[in-house]
Amino acid sequence: MALVASTRHVVLVVIDAAVWAAWSAACGYVSHRLPASTLSREGPLRLRAAERDGGVYERLLRIKVWKDALPEAGSLFRGGFSKRHLRRHDREYLEQFRVETRRAEWTHWAILALSPVFFAWNPWWLALAMLGYGVAANVPCLLVQRYNRARLERALRRPPVGVRAAGP
């Protein structure tokens, strides 16, 4: 009896993994297809006052230590945008990068939103494990996107190189 139950649990884990993979790919694709104009507005993804300079992420979470260890799938789909490195420093590129951090954040929130669905067919303990997986796999990515956007916003507030601020 125990062997049958454990075989059933293995099958459930395989199904769960397939659901996570398919949902993640679907969310990534839908997000990739969203027009930049949809993502150019702050909306619910706006940074809060405590996040504005990114310092809270550096001090409390030590984000600089681990952020580069996360996968970067922004260029997975044709025409996608890799956020692995800042390639240029001109305003147009920084604005595009900021939009792409919103795209990635939206994607990870959408993926994470699937978590409660696992309670529909899994025993409670396995559904909790899937919820834990969803949090562990997506929250660090969400944090990195918000941290990068805070840094981009700080850079975009600076006057362009060669432009002097008005004053006495």
Q: Which one-letter amino acid corresponds to residue 30? A: V
Containing structural domain, residue 23: 17-38+47-157
Prediction pTM value: 0.85
Report the pLDDT value the prediction gives residue 61, as an integer from 0 to 100.
93
Residue 111: pLDDT over 80: yes
CA distance linking residue 101 with residue 148, whole number of Å: 7
Residue 12 in domain: no
* pLDDT tens readout for residues 10-46: 999 999 999 999 999 999 999 999 998 888 887 888 8
Residues 6+ apart with CB under 8 A from 32: 76, 77, 79, 80, 103
Q: Report the Cα–Cα distance between both ends of the chain, in Å, rounded.
A: 84
Residue 162 in domain: no
Residues 6+ apart with CB under 8 A from 142: 105, 108, 109, 112
* pLDDT tens readout for residues 89-101: 889 989 998 999 9
Residue 3 in domain: no
Residue 166 in domain: no
Residue 137 in domain: yes
Residue 25 in domain: yes
Residue 133 in domain: yes
Q: For the chain, what is the domain count?
A: 1
Residue 105 in domain: yes
